[in-house]
Structure 1
């Protein structure tokens, strides 16, 4: 029996490590997932231990080595912005600061006040936010100065794991876009901003394309030693690759955060400054992106409170008893502040319309609807001039396992949806490795689970409820700084 050639993809996500193996034609051979914890040390602080990532990767590589495949190459993706600061030996000097961490709010305000948003956008294309790695770094410089003086390397999550596996320091343009130090249009470092903020660009390693080689495995099982490792891409760009997203399709990820992703060429800076513009994993392509901080995270919170040890299908069965509109209960999902289109790390979450007659199934539906209203708010910002006309939504992420939620998304956004297997970034990482190994680029053959179309009656009803949601949020905004 012939040995099957396989490519390994790793996605170092917020809630855990996903891994899969694919064949040369994109068929999935094997999947696994290893969870690791997030540490919430203070209000707004979110960290993870790089040692937990190492343990998860070791577990996956040991499993992969036991499989009867001929491994050809490895690709890595991971949570964007999450920042690891290291000494000269590559050892992490502290826990990684997550993309969702909000402690650098005052640092962001100071940077905006000193340089002005227009000047900053002219250099890197985006407005500074607490999510960006540079703001994590500046916070450490201000509040952990002794530790800052020890820094010799800084890496995004996937790049630190790749260094640990290969001994090579690299970063690709997709993750470099999320540092807030990249001239996104020209796909090169902004030396002007680095000079203005006195940041050493050499700490980030070599800037290399996502499909280029980033080293070979020098750790892990003997069977895998010497395996070539592609540089890889941040999770959203890798997910677009792994879902076969094409120009004219709107990507939507119901992952820990909720992300809308729109491919562009030529480069352009969106007029709404809550919309990001980042490099895509493919040369000559960029993407606009809006992010609501808590999507599947909000669902997970609801599940832990009201449906412990339940599946998406269990929750769906209960929620099916509740009519559209959640009996007048409206939820806004700002459990970790908000990023788009409300640039407010101090924003908080809540319900309105709640009474003693409402059970858990009402709250569950309200959470699904509230996250989707936030995504609609993001879409309105991205398409503020109504010039984008998507053919369809390509939906992935853990939240897409809920058939009720999928219908809500179709109805609120009033677009047809194609639901793709939840392999996203891991599949994209593996496919980048495959394309590098074969020295050719081809579109990933997406694996469609189902398709959903909006229901006209639901669309009309949700339009009214969404207007109520927007009105509630607008009245809440003045309160976030005080409560």
Structure 2
């Protein structure tokens, strides 16, 4: 057994949709402890809210489990927290949340999104994404300010999900990072708020936190938080990133041209480019990497979140075994987890559909897996159309990678090798980010290479490509017929430009 007693330990915390996860990892990638705690929410149509107090309780529980599992908190050199992208709340002068947390896919700010886009058209084009979507942070902030007209006078401020946790950790006001603040209007290139645009929207700077780059030390764990979480006071807290960016760092795919595809509740694709991508359709947006590159990508509303909903209590291993011989299946599914699509196209009125009724549960499950894989391929086609390099490594992470049938299916549909690192997770990505903050020049790449351990590589089966090409093309037709997928994107996707 390796003696790691002299190595530094890094703590990463991931606030996902369904739960909080935490890990403690050494500088050489040895996993010392893990913890998790579930989250619940209120999801009704376009409404999706969570209780911010539950976020903190879940963080304390997950971190406490890490320490109980054998990770000595006295050895933790630094920690970082990620959160779901675009999730916000308002806090009072004392940093206490005074509204529910509006989650990443809460879609009630449609009117406000139109206002935001009309006023900030030039700024959003400069930022690369062209238009904001109704689920983004700034439209939701505008909606909250309308709902609570006394908010500004009372000193209420915007807080992203990770800001809520970071403030509890350090015990005082904290700046927000440009990754979580991107969908709230922050200019990641200049690390500033677009004050003129925000003023026209009635959003004063007093309602906004300060901005820093991910990886910036923003404080130390205070005594109260240490007591609640099982840590020790004084641990540096590093500004984190969104969960998609965290998963990207945790995959180890930090080289230009490489991509990380995360399949959890939803599908998130993120890559690395030298330059900022510009998407006039507002589908692809780019975060700024702590290493200085750009991280373009997007989050689809399709994903594995349908599995528990549609197959409750099922033996998923057996279901996958039964589904495997049916692939490729002629049953086409567009498997939306919630109404409306965000990536690889924007269609607020999109709804899930099947091309026909399934013959049974196994075929329906096969079509669900296949539908997500087809959307994943379409995501790659959309970023390829924008000029992003897609010739690097493709790394698969997320909870769905436990399904070996699904992993192989994704390699078959993409038509290229995919790799699955060991222990990859957004929480690991935050541990990598925390380590990089103390690593000097090249810290991020060096930390990722050291801490993310390689796993399996799956090769595509050439015998399946033709059938998948046909099914993929048919799904594109169905999406175009419904008016959701732009014809230019569909035409490019039909050229066989899977990565």
The verdict on a shared fold, with TM-score over 0.5 as the criterion, is yes
CA 1:363–1:339 in structure 2 vs 1: closer, same or farther (change >3 Å)?
A: same
**Rounded Cα–Cα distance in structure 1 between residues aligned with 2:287 and 2:139:** 17
**Rounded Cα–Cα distance in structure 2 between residues aligned with 1:205 and 1:145:** 19
Please point out which of 265, 277, 282 is paired with 2:286.
277
CA 1:315–1:178 in structure 2 vs 1: closer, same or farther (change >3 Å)?
A: farther
Q: Is the 2:113–2:132 contact (alpha carbons within 8 Å) kept by the matching residues of 1? A: yes
**Displacement of 1:323:** 3.2
Please point out which of 47, 50, 65 is paired with 2:49.
47
- Determine helix, strand or coil for the equivalent of 2:272: strand
Mapping 1:112-127, distance limit 5 Å: 112=117, 114-115=118-119, 117=121, 120-122=124-126, 125-127=129-131
Q: Is the 1:39–1:48 contact (alpha carbons within 8 Å) kept by the matching residues of 2? A: yes
Match of 2:478 in 1: 472
Mapping 1:281-430, distance limit 5 Å: 281-282=290-291, 284-304=292-312, 308=313, 310-311=315-316, 313-325=317-329, 327-333=330-336, 335-355=338-358, 358-384=359-385, 388-421=389-422, 423-430=424-431
Match of 2:83 in 1: 78
- Determine helix, strand or coil for the equivalent of 1:354: coil
- Determine helix, strand or coil for the equivalent of 2:483: helix
1:138-168, Cα deviation, whole Å (9 max, x unpaired): 1122344355754522111112100111123
> In the alignment, is residue 28 of structure 1 matched against residue 31 of structure 2?
yes
- Determine helix, strand or coil for the equivalent of 1:29: strand
In structure 1, list runs of 5 or more residues that go unmatched.
Answer: none
What is the Cα-based RMSD across aligned positions, in Å? 2.4
Mapping 1:61-460, distance limit 5 Å: 61-66=63-68, 67-69=70-72, 70-112=75-117, 114-115=118-119, 117=121, 120-122=124-126, 125-146=129-150, 150=154, 152-166=156-170, 167-179=172-184, 181-218=185-222, 219-221=225-227, 223-245=231-253, 246-270=255-279, 273-282=282-291, 284-304=292-312, 308=313, 310-311=315-316, 313-325=317-329, 327-333=330-336, 335-355=338-358, 358-384=359-385, 388-421=389-422, 423-439=424-440, 441=443, 442-445=446-449, 446-460=452-466
In structure 2, list runs of 5 or more residues that go unmatched.
Answer: 486-499
**Rounded Cα–Cα distance in structure 2 between residues aligned with 1:278 and 1:434:** 20
**Rounded Cα–Cα distance in structure 2 between residues aligned with 1:5 and 1:309:** 42
CA 1:64–1:328 in structure 2 vs 1: closer, same or farther (change >3 Å)?
A: closer
Q: Is the 1:291–1:378 contact (alpha carbons within 8 Å) kept by the matching residues of 2? A: no
**Displacement of 1:57:** 1.3
**Displacement of 1:379:** 1.8
**Rounded Cα–Cα distance in structure 2 between residues aligned with 1:478 and 1:274:** 12
**Rounded Cα–Cα distance in structure 1 between residues aligned with 2:23 and 2:248:** 16
**Rounded Cα–Cα distance in structure 2 between residues aligned with 1:193 and 1:328:** 47
CA 1:29–1:122 in structure 2 vs 1: closer, same or farther (change >3 Å)?
A: same
**Rounded Cα–Cα distance in structure 1 between residues aligned with 2:217 and 2:34:** 24
- Determine helix, strand or coil for the equivalent of 1:256: coil
**Rounded Cα–Cα distance in structure 1 between residues aligned with 2:179 and 2:204:** 19
Aligned residues: 468
1:306-333, Cα deviation, whole Å (9 max, x unpaired): xx1644x3432232242311x4343342
1:196-234, Cα deviation, whole Å (9 max, x unpaired): 212123433221222221111111326522211111222
- Determine helix, strand or coil for the equivalent of 1:316: helix
CA 1:103–1:28 in structure 2 vs 1: closer, same or farther (change >3 Å)?
A: same
CA 1:386–1:264 in structure 2 vs 1: closer, same or farther (change >3 Å)?
A: closer
Q: Is the 2:77–2:236 contact (alpha carbons within 8 Å) kept by the matching residues of 1? A: yes
Q: Is the 1:4–1:68 contact (alpha carbons within 8 Å) kept by the matching residues of 2? A: no
CA 1:387–1:194 in structure 2 vs 1: closer, same or farther (change >3 Å)?
A: closer
CA 1:416–1:149 in structure 2 vs 1: closer, same or farther (change >3 Å)?
A: farther
**Rounded Cα–Cα distance in structure 2 between residues aligned with 1:478 and 1:43:** 19
Query: Which sits farther off after the overlay, 8-17 or 226-235?
Result: 226-235
Q: Is the 2:256–2:392 contact (alpha carbons within 8 Å) kept by the matching residues of 1? A: no
Q: Is the 1:331–1:369 contact (alpha carbons within 8 Å) kept by the matching residues of 2? A: no
CA 1:31–1:314 in structure 2 vs 1: closer, same or farther (change >3 Å)?
A: farther
- Determine helix, strand or coil for the equivalent of 2:437: helix
**Rounded Cα–Cα distance in structure 1 between residues aligned with 2:122 and 2:168:** 38
- Determine helix, strand or coil for the equivalent of 1:182: coil
**Displacement of 1:297:** 1.5
Query: Which sits farther off after the overlay, 217-226 or 243-252?
Result: 217-226
CA 1:407–1:316 in structure 2 vs 1: closer, same or farther (change >3 Å)?
A: same
